[in-house]
Amino acid sequence: QVHLVESGGGLVEPGGSLKLSCAASGFSFSDYYMTWIRQAPGKGLEWVSYISSISRPTKFGIDSVRGRFYISRDNIKNLLFLQMNSLTVEDTAVYFCARVSRNMSVDYWGQGTLVIVSS
């Protein structure tokens, strides 16, 4: 079955960087778009970014992360990444890795990894 496991979250000071990873299994990773979605504590869901099956195009949904966040993937190792730079307190959230279905829904989600930006 589809399995997505995020890692790399943690506590980081404002201005710092983190690289999130998502290990995928149970499906043909290289055939699917993948996406990152975040959820600030006690808040709703916010779409961050997606990447096509062949790494281009990539799209971002939040103006404030463009130029700071970079999405990438390794179709050999079945890994999805989110490089986050110049982090601010507003980036504090659980970050979910998820698969984009053929119907352009987001059909399978990981358990999430918590990023806390604080001094």
Partner 1 sequence: DIVLTQSPDFQSVTPKEKVTITCRASQSIGSNLHWYQQKPDQSPKLLIESASQSFSGVPSRFSGSGSGTDFTLTINSLETEDAATYYCLQTFILPWTFGQGTKVEIK
Nearer to partner 1, 55 or 101 (CB): 101
Judged by CB, which is closer to partner 1: 16, or 58? 58
**For residues 16 and 46, which CB has a smaller minimum distance to partner 1 in the complex?**
46
Of 21, 27, 52, 62, the residue at the interface with partner 1 (CB under 8 A) is: 62
Backbone angles phi, psi at 63, to 5 degrees: -55, -35
Instruction: Kindly give, in sequence order, each residue whose CB lies less than 8 Å from that of residue 28, ignoring residues fewer than 6 positions away.
Output: none
Phi and psi at residue 73, to the nearest 5° = -150, 155
**For residues 51 and 34, is the Cβ–Cβ distance under 8 A?**
yes
Please report, as ranges, the residues that interact with partner 1 according to CB under 8 A. 44-47, 50, 59-62, 96, 101, 103-112
